[in-house]
Structure 1
Amino acid sequence: MSSDDRDDEEPHEQRTSELLGAALGGAARRVGLDPAENASTQKVVWSAMGGWRGVFESVLPSLAFVILFTVKPEPLILSLGVSVGLAAVFTVVRLAQKSPPSAALGGLIAAGAAAALALWTGRGADNFVPGLITNAVYGTAFLVSALIGWSLIGIAAGFLMGEATAWRADKRKRRAFRLLGIAWAALFFARLAVQLPLYLTDQVTALGTLKLIMGLPLFAPLIAVTWLVVRALYPRESPQTTASRS
């Protein structure tokens, strides 16, 4: 490959990372994950989880499905209907409170698609297929991006902190973002490794239970670690330091 070809590829990679950074950074900012803001770790984690409403929205539909399916597997539409119904109620509440439509409808569409697949196949375990696919896709994306030196976390942090792709020239930041990317990939692949065998053996109750256990309880600590690392890489200047420079 000639030097001209490499020069052409580098701007293309930067443009792609800028677009991806804007998307990831915007999403992070909407859920309260902005390293530029002065917020406590506890507040950031709670905001990323969506507060009590976010916890209920994440847990109750799946919990209702698991309980009802365990008590009464047939008809399948009963447990699926209650699960989707709860997701619909949460969606209506969000829309009534004028939350962004994408945030309000995303969970309902995912729940509806999963339920439709389970009804079509007649297998309760298929209600968890979208989650398995999501873990596989996210895990692959985080791992590959980290290994090739374009960590998704670094791209998002670079956008939020206004340095674009300059972090790639900093060995300390590049290494930290690579390790964070691998850690997030490990979380998604761990979920897949535990849940996929249960899906293949049709152990619906165990699958649903472990999905809940490996959900927010593992997500929250990793969010906290990510936040602390990024804040350490981008320390906020004290008012005295800023004044002395002006």
Structure 2
Amino acid sequence: MSEGADPREPKASELIGEALGTAARRAGLDPSSSATTGHVVWKAMGGWRGVVESVLPSLIFVVAYTVSRDLVVSLIASVGIAAVFTVVRFAQKSPPAAALGGLIAAAIAAVLSLLTGNPSDNFVPGLLTNAAYGTAMLVSALIGWPLIGLAAGYLMGEGVAWRRDRRKRRAFFWLTIAWAALFAVRLGVQLPIYLSSLDPANRESAVALLGTLKIAMGLPLFAPLVAVTWLTARALYVRRAATPDADAADAPR
């Protein structure tokens, strides 16, 4: 261990902060940026391309299944459009991560639905993702290492020094709790509908409702919370830049 290192500081914090911070920077969420809030949020959603890539596979699946009642045809249509998005990104030499991730998720969902014969299983990966993200956010906040703080600390080059500032600790705690609540709300609303689809009599209505809710509770909830997170983080660090001694004044004694 290097001289002056805090033995109580978990070594994983730097790795997690770096990973989260790098992802946030790639998404345009850098508190030091002078971009407008609208620009930041739009970039985080991936612009028009990101919106279309996020919404269209689920929309096509729901429409195709509602019209045809054919699970295989609906899955082929959904996975096919995700594959097209990925191929286009590779052809244009643009970052393929988002489209490739969507393709992998669509393929996994398709395999699961084919194995069970339940079209609502197409939404299971999304339910699991919300459960995992929500749990990670909640646990990180409760143990005093909120993931939003780790990402912001890496982006601003201060590591975990923000933990010595009560103002930042509170802000990052509540921001992380807000993200946990977003994932929990999605799961709380959609899971009962999925469970109802286990009864074959409810499957057709459940597919349409789950597809609608996935879209309605996706970007429309994601965008405002991105804006709040970015504005809060930027305000914290703007204040620090304007008053260098603010952190020391707020530090626990």
Same fold by TM (over 0.5)?
yes
Q: In the alignment, which of 94, 100, 103 is matched to residue 98 of structure 2?
A: 103
* Offset of residue 101 of structure 1: 4.4
Higher alpha-carbon deviation: 93-102 or 160-169:
93-102
Q: In the alignment, which of 109, 116, 124 is matched to residue 114 of structure 1?
A: 109
Give yes or no for contact 1:63–1:208 (8 Å, CA) kept in 2: yes
Q: In the alignment, which of 122, 130, 155 is matched to residue 135 of structure 1?
A: 130
CA distance in 1, matches of 2:92, 2:135: 35
Give yes or no for contact 1:142–1:181 (8 Å, CA) kept in 2: yes
CA RMSD of aligned residues (A): 1.5
AA aligned opposite 1:153? I
Cross-structure match for 1:30:
26
* Offset of residue 102 of structure 1: 3.4
Listed one character per residue, the Cα deviations across residues 178-214 of structure 1 (whole Å, up to 9, x for unaligned) are: 0001100000000000000110111111111111100
Give yes or no for contact 2:53–2:99 (8 Å, CA) kept in 1: no
Cross-structure match for 2:155:
160
AA aligned opposite 1:67? V
Q: Which runs of 5+ in 2 are unaligned?
A: 1-5, 198-205, 245-253
Cross-structure match for 2:170:
175
Q: In the alignment, which of 197, 217, 222 is matched to residue 220 of structure 2?
A: 217
CA distance in 1, matches of 2:212, 2:86: 24
Listed one character per residue, the Cα deviations across residues 118-160 of structure 1 (whole Å, up to 9, x for unaligned) are: 0111110000000000000000000110111100000000000
Q: 1:156 to 1:103 in 2, by over 3 A?
A: same
* Offset of residue 107 of structure 1: 1.2
1:184 aligns with 2:187: no
Cross-structure match for 2:229:
226
Q: 1:223 to 1:191 in 2, by over 3 A?
A: same
CA distance in 2, matches of 1:106, 1:201: 28
Q: Say which SS state the counterpart of residue 227 (structure 1) adopts.
A: helix
Same amino acid, percent of matched pairs: 69
AA aligned opposite 1:188? F
1:41 aligns with 2:37: yes
- What is the aligned residue count? 229
Q: Which runs of 5+ in 1 are unaligned?
A: 1-6, 242-246
CA distance in 2, matches of 1:120, 1:199: 16
CA distance in 1, matches of 2:96, 2:68: 34
AA aligned opposite 1:26? T
* Offset of residue 70 of structure 1: 1.4
CA distance in 2, matches of 1:124, 1:104: 22
CA distance in 1, matches of 2:117, 2:226: 36
CA distance in 2, matches of 1:209, 1:33: 28
TM-score, normalised to structure 1's length?
0.90
Cross-structure match for 1:4:
none
TM-score, normalised to structure 2's length?
0.87
AA aligned opposite 1:31? A
